[in-house]
Amino acid sequence: KYKLDNRKSNVDMFNLTGPSRTNRPDNTAFTQQRLPAWQPILSAGIVIPGFTLIGLAFIGVGVALFVTSQKITDLEIDYTGVAATSPCFKCTSFAAENCMCQMEFTLTTLFEGPVFFYYGLTSYYQNFRTYGVSKDGYQLSGDTYYFNNPQDSCAPYQYDSNNNPIVPCGSIANSMFSDTFQLYQVVNGMKKQVPLDGKGIAWWTDYNIKYSNPALVNGSFANAFSGTVKPVNWSKPVYELDPTDQANNGFLNQNFLVWMRQAALPKFQKLYGRIAEGDYAQGLPAGNYTLLINYSYPVISFGGTKKVVLSNVSWMGGKNQFLGIAYLVIGSLCIVMAMVMLIIYAKYKFTDDDEDM
């Protein structure tokens, strides 16, 4: 911009050496938007072969995923006990304490190992917002100040009726799954226990980084929790979760860690153990099996179900039909669209060429 100075002649308005010259941007490629550029166009020569290639690639991946998913075996055993004929029906009444029930199942072929043992719940909304924030991260990382002063996010599971602080506080910890399982193979009428390995079922980062136990007090782990009480729904305090193995006790208990990892969906399954040792290293051979359950976790009141899931895994993880089918469908659609576009392009191209003549 320039001032119209009355003292100068009108010619100065067009004088290129005046103040207007200094405001002109540099004549470089960057400032004049002349940078070398690649300009892709959606031309038929790119789009149609591109769609065909994507379609073929997707069909290939889809076939691989589908075949792999079909090969994964999984077995579900629902033991909620809703039906009166179910072996676990007797455990569903409120009066039943420490109720044991047995579910029987048969395997017709070898269940290839390593076999993973999960417990599954339905209609269980661990993803509910107020439930999800109801825990005290400081307590769970071993900060003893918060043992006596749990955070308000844990309410109403913060203090018990006698105003004692709860450790670990909050809804997630309080609702920890309490059923335990033992698996037996029936061999010649005798029950042979199938060992369930509970080590390493939680994430490494949870066990090593996110959660840690408080330091021992006077050589005793229980003393570190003095002045606190166990959560309302627990049968034993947190320092007795595994008295035999201190590496699996307290906040580092693998089952506790697996439970604290909040599920995203209302129907979920959580790892309980691995069958990969001893006689069962190759998997579960065909035969009759008995599942002995210590049924203590109530789900019928909210219409949920409980089940045990046995599964093996592959390079794509657990059994999931969706990805394979989705890839096949999208791949086929891509090829169909490529053909449609080719027909339309050819039709309109020849129409245009005819018009030119």
Binding residues for another protein restricted to 32-61, rule: CB under 8 A? 32-44, 47, 51, 54, 58, 61
Between 191 and 319, whose beta carbon lies closer to another protein?
319
DSSP 186-255: EETTEEEEEP-B-TT-S-HHIIIII--PPPPBTTBTGGGGTT-B--TT-SS-GGGS-TT-GGGSGGG-HH
The span of 16-24, 215-223, 293-301, 336-344 binding another protein (CB under 8 A) equals 336-344
Q: 3-state DSSP call for residue 306? A: strand
Between 55 and 250, whose beta carbon lies closer to another protein?
55
29 binds another protein (CB under 8 A): yes
To which H or E segment does residue 121 belong? Answer: strand 115-121
Which residues 107-126 are close enough to bind another protein by CB under 8 A?
Answer: 114, 116, 118, 126
Between 40 and 189, whose beta carbon lies closer to another protein?
40
CB of 145 to another protein, least distance (A): 13
DSSP 265-292: SSSEEEEEEEE-SGGGTTEEPSEEEEEE
316 binds another protein (CB under 8 A): yes
215 binds another protein (CB under 8 A): no
307 binds another protein (CB under 8 A): no
Which residues 233-292 are close enough to bind another protein by CB under 8 A?
Answer: 258, 261-265, 267-271, 274
Distance set, CA 158 to CA 55, 161, 228, 276 (Å) = 56, 10, 11, 40
Helices (H), 113-198: 129-132, 137-140, 145-148, 171-174
Angle between the N-to-C axes of helices 44-71 and 321-356, in degrees from 0 to 180, rounded to the nearest 10? 160
Between 204 and 302, whose beta carbon lies closer to another protein?
204
The span of 16-24, 104-112, 203-211, 236-244 binding another protein (CB under 8 A) equals 203-211
Cα–Cα distance for residue pair 182/194, rounded to 1 Å: 8
Between 207 and 297, whose beta carbon lies closer to another protein?
207
Which residues 57-96 are close enough to bind another protein by CB under 8 A?
Answer: 58, 61, 65
Phi-psi region of 143 (alpha: psi -120 to 50; beta: other; left: phi over 0): beta
Between 32 and 93, whose beta carbon lies closer to another protein?
32
355 binds another protein (CB under 8 A): yes
Which residues 135-194 are close enough to bind another protein by CB under 8 A?
Answer: 137-138, 141
Between 67 and 187, whose beta carbon lies closer to another protein?
67
Q: Report how many residues bind another protein under the rule CB under 8 A.
A: 71
Phi-psi region of 188 (alpha: psi -120 to 50; beta: other; left: phi over 0): left
